[in-house]
Amino acid sequence: MIDTDAWLAAIETSRIATAIAGSLWLTGLLSAVHLVGMTVLTGGAVVSGLRLTGVLLTDRPVVDVAGAVARGMLAGLAISVASGLLLVASRLSTALSNELFQIKMGLLLVATLVHVMLYRPVSAGMAVHPVVRWTTGAVGLTLWVGVALAGCAFILLE
């Protein structure tokens, strides 16, 4: 059986975690990188979600808009996850017990699953009913914006 407390303590006291926690400069840099990643991810979700709901870029095919932002969203997700792991490493046990952090991580998991399993197929040009397309766009948009807002709340109310 894995000793979770020992595992968390090992991460929190690792050289990289203590270096980041002890450096305002590194923390600020990683926070900026995390914010850029979240901006790219959420921005792509907003553009494609608004296209699916028929609010934005209605003169463009859904598949073109979704395809154009897909790589950006993936890059934003990778940047956000990597920088977020580094930022939270020195306080992992505290973060894991924080309700706002749990909400953010839960929304991130659900948003990613919905995006891969539902959003991508619907936006890939498959013939779907307009209500399904609109609902998928609205749900995806809501989830990704929820991830960003939960992250803001975690930082501001921590």
N residues, the chain: 158
pTM of the predicted model, to two decimals?
A: 0.84
Residues 6+ apart with CB under 8 A from 89: 11, 12, 14, 16, 17, 20
Q: Who has greater pLDDT, 122 or 110?
A: 110
| Whole-number percent of the chain with pLDDT over 70 | 97
- What is the predicted pLDDT for the residue at 91? 87
Q: Which residue has the higher pLDDT, 3 or 103?
A: 103
For the chain, the first-to-last Cα distance in angstroms comes to 31
Measured CA to CA, the distance from residue 58 to residue 52 in angstroms comes to 9
HSE at residue 87, side-chain half, CA atoms within 13 A, is: 21
Specify the pLDDT at position 15. Answer: 92
Q: Rounded CA gap, 110 and 73, in Å?
A: 15
Contact 150, 107 (CB under 8 A): yes
**Residue 127 pLDDT > 70:** no
